Structure 1
Amino acid sequence: MIAAQQANTWLRRYRPVEQPRVRLVCFAHAGGGPSAFRTWPPALPSDVEVVAVRYPGRQDRVTEPSVDRMEPMVAAVTEALTPLLDRPLVLFGHSMGAWIAYEVAQRMPVRALIVSGQVPPSRRKSAHPGSARRGDRSGEFSDDMLIEEVKRLGGYDAQLFEDPELRDLVLPPIRADFTLVRTYRTGRPNLLDCPVHACYGEDDADTRAHDVDAWAEVSTGPFTAHRFPGGHFYLADHEPALLRELSSLPAVSCA
């Protein structure tokens, strides 16, 4: 009962599949939520169930406090996913979500890890979102600095920050996510044994090809990378192309 409640709190299925062949678990970017993946199911094989992670502090969990540290975030998501291990899991994470997905993959068996718009933790100097050098000496951002960095990355409606009420609503979870990234440390990670696939935008200044290719070092399994047109949020501008790529991956496809 408790496990079911945890899953319902942390996970959303936009198209439940009665007998899924595989579950694609999706982790959004900083400030994002499950709605980032609401349009994905129709473009994927019908027996692939899309499961979106619901971070607290935003969207339909807006009344809950945000989580600003990696360990409690990963622990909660791992617990929520455990009842779903009756089917193979493929993890997809974009930007901040790539690191959360990677940490979850350290703690439970997954068929594949797909990382997007992010470098591996070993290359964190060029990681999203914003590095500490863009804030003050402690790495903290003022509200104006935070908004400037969010606008630089793109993917948000700039008008949100012009309305004081909306600004006060969206800034706290974004700040918590930036803090989670800034304070994240990997320790001594274990090598994964699953395939790792990396996707990134060719115009994303913070995910250069040689850094993205370093994801090959996190697993003994095969590694592939795919470059798309666009910047950090290439996946919004080129969603059909990304979903065709994901559908063709051995871990996801019917072949």
Structure 2
Amino acid sequence: MSGARVPAPWVRRFAAPHSGTQDGHAAAPARTLLCFPHAGGAASAYRGWAALVPEGVEVWAVQYPGREDRVGAPLIDDMAALAGAAVAAIGPALHPPVTVFGHSMGASVAHEFTLALERRRPGLADRLVVSGRPGPAAQAPPADPVHLRDDAGVRAALKVLGGGGLDALADPQLAALLMPVIRNDFRLIERYRPGTAPLGVDVVGVTGDADPSMPARLIDAWGWATTGAFTPIVLPGGHFYLNDHLPAVIDTALTPTRHKEQQMSGQDPAVDAAQAAEAAEAVSVAGLRATIAEVLGVEPGEVDPDASLFELGLNSMSMMSLSVRWQALGVEAPFGELAERPTVAAWSELLTGILAAQGEAPAGGDTAPTPPLV
């Protein structure tokens, strides 16, 4: 079967050395690995992947408008518009099976792309791999949006995340070219609010254990974004952990997903103890104040332990976001009881009691404070 032409200008095909192909016509691959770049990134971020994939796997990297050879194309700062345009351009050229991968902002673009692709061509993509991004229900608006900062503030945010690229911004001519792209992408992802429609594909969530943009446990929230199997994986490193673990990341992306029952078995007792301690800390008064503040976009000091959270802006969506975080720690939240007693103090008492009943934490008392989540 002949493969369709790679849909320029939206995709770059990076062929493995053994394939002898680049852009243009080629035999349909055994699997396509379709990759979405991070904020400010471009298709070239995935150039090195082709040498590491197995024979028969082809790497397609998405080229967003406004960068590299699409520098003259208008930037898109709306998620629905970007994902919709990508599906319209790329979807018809794909052959099953397809694995969709995205890192950071690209994880959310890949998520929306896969949702739209399922509606148009069910079964085409059977696997979504999301990297360095919390699950949809755990995403919250930033308290200090990067896209509203001055150029020095944008550079400071990039320095925290790491990953290189700051040297290019030191050159005035390159900065004039790159800064609008970077600011556009931060505007896109910071204004994006994911919906609640579930995927029907297997999902793998991967993150670094020291990512300054998110606690590693928030990767677990992707498990509630699909009716398929979910596998969470945490690797050493920060936001761009994948630069140091690229073979492992690619292997993870292409390895068949474990069944859910396999994921729940074989826990190390030391890991269980650490997770129980983390759960107890998260449902303490201090821990709840920090998490609720992040979800509601306020300072922790504004969260009075004895005041109604509804007066602070709590609603059903923010309660769902909180619930996903607690579920990732093994705490099932009873929505009815939480709504009847909407204060931090009451929630801490209730959730700590639930943990104690599950045998995961001792009842009563506060624990050490949890630092505000980033």
Normalised by the shorter chain, which TM-score bucket?
0.7 to 0.9
In the superposition, the TM-score normalised over structure 1's length comes to: 0.88
Amino acid corresponding to residue 207 of structure 1 in structure 2: M
Q: CA-to-partner distance for each residue in 1:87-143, whole Å, 9 max, x for gaps?
A: 222100000000000001111132111000000222123xxxxx642248xx61211
Match of 1:113 in 2: 128
2:181 aligns with one of 173, 188, 211: 173
1:144 aligns with one of 139, 152, 163: 152
- Tell me, in whole angstroms, the C-alpha distance in 1 between the residues paired with 2:50 and 2:190: 32
- Tell me, in whole angstroms, the C-alpha distance in 1 between the residues paired with 2:215 and 2:235: 12
Q: CA-to-partner distance for each residue in 1:170-206, whole Å, 9 max, x for gaps?
A: 101101100101111224x321111000111111133
**1:134 and 2:144 are equivalent in the alignment:** yes
Unaligned runs of 5+ in 2: 16-20, 119-124, 259-374
- Tell me, in whole angstroms, the C-alpha distance in 1 between the residues paired with 2:94 and 2:170: 44
Matched residues, number = 240
Q: CA-to-partner distance for each residue in 1:152-180, whole Å, 9 max, x for gaps?
A: 11112322122111111110110110010
- Tell me, in whole angstroms, the C-alpha distance in 2 between the residues paired with 1:148 and 1:12: 31
Segment drifting more, 66-75 vs 150-159: 150-159
Match of 1:58 in 2: 67
Match of 1:231 in 2: 238
Secondary structure of the structure 1 residue equivalent to 2:205: strand
Equivalent residue runs for 1:21-36 within 5 Å: 21-36=30-45
1:81 Cα deviation from its structure 2 partner = 2.0
Match of 1:161 in 2: 169
- Tell me, in whole angstroms, the C-alpha distance in 1 between the residues paired with 2:149 and 2:77: 14
Amino acid corresponding to residue 65 of structure 1 in structure 2: P
Match of 2:76 in 1: 67
Structure ranking higher on relative contact order (CA contacts 8 Å, 6+ apart): 1
1:52 Cα deviation from its structure 2 partner = 0.4
- Tell me, in whole angstroms, the C-alpha distance in 2 between the residues paired with 1:34 and 1:226: 24
Amino acid corresponding to residue 127 of structure 2 in structure 1: A
Query: Structure 1 pair 234/248, CA: closer, same or farther in 2 (3 Å)?
Result: same
In the superposition, the TM-score normalised over structure 2's length comes to: 0.61
- Tell me, in whole angstroms, the C-alpha distance in 1 between the residues paired with 2:145 and 2:91: 37
Unaligned runs of 5+ in 1: 126-130
Contact 1:11/1:80 (<8 A) preserved = no
RMSD: 2.0
Larger radius of gyration: 2
Contact 1:135/1:145 (<8 A) preserved = no
Query: Structure 1 pair 5/249, CA: closer, same or farther in 2 (3 Å)?
Result: closer
Contact 1:13/1:49 (<8 A) preserved = yes
1:5 Cα deviation from its structure 2 partner = 8.9
Equivalent residue runs for 1:72-83 within 5 Å: 72-83=81-92
| Runs of 4 or more consecutive aligned structure 1 residues displaced over 6 Å after TM superposition | none
Q: CA-to-partner distance for each residue in 1:196-247, whole Å, 9 max, x for gaps?
A: 0011111113332331101000001110011111100011122122223223
- Tell me, in whole angstroms, the C-alpha distance in 2 between the residues paired with 1:147 and 1:177: 14
